[in-house]
């Protein structure tokens, strides 16, 4: 009986290490989470800001110069984005942005980041939002 519990301990450790490695790989693919201050810096360095929220949330206010591409349209429109430009994905609360960043990486955009905590963290830092005046055109 001791043989079974001894082997199971090693199997459990191996399974835990493998699952941790899989999670680490997935996390590294999603890009880097940025603080609001880092996002401001990226914005100032001409990074492309993509707001993946729905239209109603976007119209309520977004980061200046953000382009609105709802999450359900992101894969289809990824080909229109510059592959050589840094991208920062923003959402409402930071839950969907890592998945969107991962999708953009899979579509060939190398330098992808996301705002950790979404616009909730942005507003906690008392940073401004801008009301969109119309659809932003991609250049």
Phi and psi at 86, nearest 5°, equal: -65, 140
pLDDT of residue 137: 44
pLDDT tens, position by position, for the chain (139 residues)? 455 555 567 666 776 766 766 555 554 444 689 999 999 999 998 999 999 999 999 999 999 999 999 999 999 999 999 988 999 999 999 999 999 999 999 999 999 999 999 999 999 999 999 998 764 544 4
Neighbours of 95 (CB within 10 A): 10
Neighbours of 116 (CB within 10 A): 16
Q: Is 113 helix (H, G, I), strand (E, B) or coil?
A: strand
Q: Is 1 helix (H, G, I), strand (E, B) or coil?
A: coil
pLDDT of residue 13: 73
pLDDT of residue 55: 94
Strand order across the 48-51 sheet: 32-34, 112-115, 87-90, 48-51, 67-68
The token pair at 83 is 């592959």
pLDDT of residue 31: 64
Q: What is the pTM of this model?
A: 0.74
CB 107 within 8 A of CB 50: no
In 3D space, the residue among 73, 117, 77 whose CA is nearest the CA of residue 95 turns out to be 117
């Amino acid at each position: 009986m001791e043989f079974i519990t001894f082997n199971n301990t090693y199997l459990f450790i191996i399974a835990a290490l493998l699952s941790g490695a899989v999670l680490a790989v997935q996390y590294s693919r999603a890009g880097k989470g940025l603080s609001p201050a880092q996002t401001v810096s990226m914005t100032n360095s001409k990074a492309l800001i993509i707001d993946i929220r729905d239209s109603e949330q976007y119209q309520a206010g977004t980061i200046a110069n953000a382009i609105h591409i709802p999450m359900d349209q992101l894969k289809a429109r990824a080909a229109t984005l510059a592959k050589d430009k840094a991208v920062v994905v923003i959402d409402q609360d930071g839950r969907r942005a890592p998945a969107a960043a991962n999708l953009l990486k899979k579509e060939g955009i190398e330098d992808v980041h996301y705002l950790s905590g979404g616009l909730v963290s942005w507003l906690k830092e008392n940073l401004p939002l801008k009301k969109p005046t119309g659809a932003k055109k991609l250049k």
